[in-house]
A and B are shown apart, each in its own frame.
Chain A
Amino acid sequence: MESVQYHAPQSLEEAVPLLKQARQTPSRILAGGTDLLIQMRAGVKSPEMLIDIKKIPETTGFEIGADEIRLGAAVPSAVMDESPELHQQLPGVVEGMELIGSTQVQGRATPGGNLCNASPAGDGAPAMIASSGQCVVFGPNGVRTIPVEEVCTAPGRTSLADDEFIQEFRFPTPKAGQADAYLRFIPRNEMDIAVVGVAANITVDAGGICTAAKVTLGAVGPTVVIATEVAELLVGTKLDDATLEKAAEIASGLGSPISDKRGTAEFRHRIAGVLTRRVIKIAATRAGERL
């Protein structure tokens, strides 16, 4: 490989022939590039063609509707963080994105890129899954919609075909009494990779009873773990301390974390429980404030 072709289609239409070419030519979709360019430099990935999707209008905006929130796949996390509306509606999804990398990196890093990098420790995915995000996947034959949890299949692998990319995410607009939150653990305070990340999306009623819940765990398995057992435990309770302790205990037993330079498996299990308890509390408090 002596050179890399770079294309920046201005519309979905313009992207179609490039995507068709990507079936034959080893290619990568480029959004912020904060993972891809580093991997190329390290020789981990050597695409012959880059398709930059940042110039396609559908990928870069976001809209908050009564029923649905649309978030372009290539919206930089700094832009998400600067939006009071997104903070109001999807605080957990924003939290997952705005703590990635440094301020400079946040100017480029995108939710679509973070998801498709398919790192088990990716900070974007847990909250997007907890908040029931759907991906609008674009290809030469049009679009298809899949849940966010169906994108990553293994570390570094996605279910997308070579000629597809994520155009945008769609989230159900949270109802009254519903909110999400994301917490991660790192040994430092920024510029680090999640040892464990936990997201929760909680709905409470006027009496403080949890009526719906979704809890997801990152970095404790090859892909995000959806803690169904935890969610089932929470529904119908007042999210009292005893329930949260029990939730923490269940969460500590989930997934199949590894021991590596970032933490031991045992430590990850422990922290998954602690963060689960803490993040449910944050989401529940936010949910209560939205009644």
Chain B
Amino acid sequence: MSTNKDYKWVGTSPIRPDGADKVTGKAAFGADKNLPGMLHGKILRSPYGHAKIKSIDTSAAESAPGVLAVMTSKDLPDLASEMGEAGESAVDFRDLSQNILAAGKVLYHGHAVAAVAATSPKLAKQALKLIKVEYEELPVVLEIEDAMADDAPILHENQFTPGGSQDKPSNIAGKMKLPRGDIEKGFAEADVIVEREFTTPTVHQGYIEPHAVTASMSASGHADVWCCTQGAFVVRAMTAKVLNMDVGKVKVTPSEIGGGFGAKTTVYLEPIAVKLSEMSGRPVKMVMDREEVLRATGPTSASVIKIKLGATNDGKLVAAEGTLKYGAGAYKGSPMGPGCMCVFASYEIPNFVVRGFDVVLNKPKVAAYRAPGAPMAAFAMESVMNEMAGKLDLDPIDFRLENAVKEGSVAAYGPKFPAIGFVETLKAAKEHPHYSAPLGKNQGRGVGTGFWFNIGMQSSATLNVNESGSVTLITGSADIGGSRASMALFAAEELGIDYDLITPLVSNTEEAGYCDVTGGSRTTFATGMAVVKASKNLVANMKKRAAKTWGVEVDEVLWQDGQAVPPFSSGKNPMSMAEIAASAAKTGGPLTASASLTAQGAGAGFGVHICDVEVDPETGKTDVIRYTAIQDAGKAIHPAYVEGQYQGGAAQGIGWALNEEYVYNDKGVLQNFGFLDYRMPVANDLPMIDTVIVEVPNPAHPYGVRGVGETPIVPPLAAVAEAVNNAAGVRITDLPISPPRLLAEIDAK
């Protein structure tokens, strides 16, 4: 396969089919679903960071005006500990249930304790005040190292470290180790060794749309759920599990989605809304406010990461050691695993060992966030790579080229890489004019690189040909980055018809074939594969219909530019898709085609970012003044939306590096629970983020696609930090690089 292949539609950037509705306010998001007789649900949340629930008395709330249902964890089935698939990662369904409504203990400030459904939001809120909860406050533990200490307050009395003491409960919920070679020998061969410890704070994905659901339980026990999610099928699976229902009795219809970034692959409200609907006999709507989103939904982990790296004087990496500790929040399940697998994945290192720790804390349970675990790991590793390049007096990109993984390299996490584009991406960065542009006073430049696996998983697609020859394209993959446009482009290319003749839809769990979550940068890759396969099936069927009409053999029929072409000897004229559709009733009935698959061979993504900053040495304020994101897309199906992914990931990474952090007081109460003080970058905090799309085709995909959504958030943390190091003459190891922290670093130098 070649990237030079001429495509008519693939590789163009038409307007997204959902665009006009979104910019005119007609698109329906999670909170836009209303039903007759609908009640409003509200949640009572813990005022403590850690406490035993001694008793809950809901009687006064039950008899309050307008209240039709009140529930606590007692109204949910008591689930056994059981691991299940949850989008990209695994989840323990008992933890999931207890996170939805606390049982016995509250583990973080904002943990849901009870829920009310009433005839108005106001009455529901008033009723919450009538619920009497008796708590016994317990000490909180908020920092990873504190939680790992022997005398730490314990969150779960029944949690023991695997391979550790089975008598003494621990906050260390999981450990992992990835070894290769002999690190003692490796470090003995090193001429230069750099060793540093890095910390990153808890940060939230910052999606604009809060979680919202409307649910209606029918008298026959069939639940209808409308919500904003990245995966209707995962909401169905989790809701069914938490309520002990069969998945076939739960229908989930996804709304348009106002941002997810990985976080909308779990459930908080959905099982509660279904249960409240069952209890009240009325539909129930629940919408979080921003404060609830920040206090009680999953951010991503804080981390403490130590890297020791050894290299020879000629720039060859010989040994590496990494210790990666991730805070999981209240329940096990930080992205320790992917973090450990990613940390050395970009380089050929003969000897290394990676150790990972999954640590519970009195903070909300983390959820996925764009390349979960990788940005923190790359912040540490890439910072050490930059420092090492300086010590070896090598250009930082040359140093990486010397050690970069390429086709045939054995990845640090096991498999052998097929064709990958890290070397090509590094070279494109080095050749970019940004890399050699002059800098002014108090300005500095940094580079960082990033790796992400990307995933395949299960997808389905259905094409229904309308009698006019236009096509309805149905998948169950939520569109969070313009994927409907990409799906239509694949179908247009395969069928040979105009993009505008295809209506791509994201349907519900009863009408679409099964699709795993939109996550892991998988949708354009995997659901795209299903669309291509279904399109090929449809073409085969249409060729058959034409052959039948003409009375020729099907293998004599060609498909070209949207029409069936007969053999010359037949003397017939080609039949357009519209003609084949119009005569379908006579040739075998409606034209439909479906395909379902488990996609294999998601190609790894590599990115290189170049960042320039200017630091005000008197205030510690950092301004990003130029930024370029370079990444291998395999093949960009819709280049404008690929660029959008690069830019969005870079913007989130810049925010993570500079100002975003959860600020807790010593009682575990989040202080900055709104976007005013949870400081994501606003538009004028960012320069135009330039992009370069490198295309090294993924051999496992019919068009060469690699996922592109997650890799772009991996490089920025180190790129920004290195730019600050070079602008201010400091060495940043702790994020965020907020003005007070940077001013202290400048003072200390």
Contact = CB atoms under 8 A, between A and B. Distances in A.
Nearest to B623: A189
Interface string B718-749: 00000000000000000000111001000000
Contacts of B682: 188-191
A261 B672 contact: yes
B743 A262 contact: no
Nearest to B673: A261
A7 to B, nearest CB: 23
B671 interface: yes
Nearest to B683: A190
Contacts of B685: 188-189
Contacts of A187: 621, 658-659, 679, 738-739
Contacts of A271: 619
Contact of A274 (B619, B623, B659, B684): B619
Contacts of B672: 261
A187 B678 CA distance: 11
Nearest to B663: A261
B677 interface: yes
Interface in B592-644: 618-621, 623
Contacts of A192: 676, 679
Contacts of B740: 263-264, 266-267
Most buried by A among B679, B685, B740, B743: B740
Contacts of A195: 739
Contacts of A191: 676, 682
Contact of B679 (A185, A188, A266): A188
B338 interface: no
A271 B742 CA distance: 13
Contacts of B621: 185, 187
A251 to B, nearest CB: 13
Contacts of B659: 187-188
A235 B671 CA distance: 43
A6 B563 CA distance: 67
B681 interface: yes
A241 interface: no
Interface string A238-280: 0000000000000000000000111110110011001000000
A193 interface: yes
B246 to A, nearest CB: 41
Interface string B453-469: 00000000000000000
Interface in B684-700: 684-685
Residue from A187, A193, A195, A264 having most chain B Cβ neighbours under 10 A: A187
Nearest to A270: B743
Contact of A260 (B618, B658, B671, B743): B671
Which has the most chain A C-beta neighbours within 10 Å: B623, B663, B676?
B676
Nearest to A101: B676
A193 to B, nearest CB: 7
Contact of A262 (B619, B677, B684): B677
Interface string A202-232: 0000000000000000000000000000000
Nearest to B618: A274
Nearest to A193: B676
Interface string B535-575: 00000000000000000000000000000000000000000
Contacts of B671: 260-261
Nearest to B661: A261
Contacts of A274: 618-619
Nearest to B622: A187
A274 to B, nearest CB: 5
A195 B677 CA distance: 11
Contacts of A264: 740
Nearest to B122: A2
Contacts of A188: 659, 679, 681-682, 685
Contacts of A189: 623, 682, 684-685
A271 B744 CA distance: 12
A271 B740 CA distance: 10
A191 B678 CA distance: 11
Contacts of B618: 274
Contact of A190 (B619, B623, B684): B684
B477 to A, nearest CB: 34
A266 B663 CA distance: 18
B308 to A, nearest CB: 32
Nearest to A259: B740
A195 B743 CA distance: 14
Contacts of B658: 187
B743 A267 contact: yes
Most B CB atoms within 10 A — which of A193, A262, A266, A274?
A262
Contacts of B677: 193, 261-262
A188 B658 CA distance: 9
Nearest to A1: B122
A192 B676 CA distance: 6
Nearest to B684: A189
Nearest to A185: B619
Contacts of A266: 740
A190 B739 CA distance: 15
A267 B620 CA distance: 10
A260 B659 CA distance: 15
Interface in A155-197: 185, 187-193, 195
A123 to B, nearest CB: 14
A100 B685 CA distance: 16
A189 B682 CA distance: 8
Contacts of B739: 185, 187, 195, 263, 267
Contacts of A267: 620, 739-740, 743
Nearest to B616: A274
A187 B619 CA distance: 9
Contacts of A190: 682, 684
A185 B743 CA distance: 13
Interface string B666-677: 000001100011
A187 to B, nearest CB: 5
Residue among A189, A190, A261, A262 facing the most chain B CB atoms (10 A cut-off): A261
B711 to A, nearest CB: 26
A185 B618 CA distance: 11
B166 to A, nearest CB: 41
A101 to B, nearest CB: 10
A142 to B, nearest CB: 39
A231 to B, nearest CB: 22
Contacts of A262: 677
Nearest to B665: A261
Contacts of B684: 189-190
B626 to A, nearest CB: 16
A265 to B, nearest CB: 10
A191 B677 CA distance: 10
A156 B623 CA distance: 33
A11 B681 CA distance: 43
A260 B672 CA distance: 10
Nearest to B621: A187
A21 B542 CA distance: 79
Contacts of A263: 739-740
14 contacts: A185-B739, A187-B659, A187-B739, A189-B685, A192-B679, A195-B739, A260-B671, A261-B671, A261-B672, A263-B739, A264-B740, A266-B740, A271-B619, A274-B618
Given A188-B682, A263-B739, A270-B743, 10 more contacts: A187-B659, A188-B679, A188-B681, A189-B685, A191-B682, A193-B676, A261-B672, A262-B677, A267-B739, A267-B743
Interface of B: 618-621, 623, 658-659, 663, 671-672, 676-677, 679, 681-682, 684-685, 738-740, 743
Interface of A: 185, 187-193, 195, 260-264, 266-267, 270-271, 274
Q: Which 7 A-B pairs have the closest CB atoms?
A: A267-B740, A261-B671, A261-B663, A274-B618, A261-B672, A189-B684, A191-B682
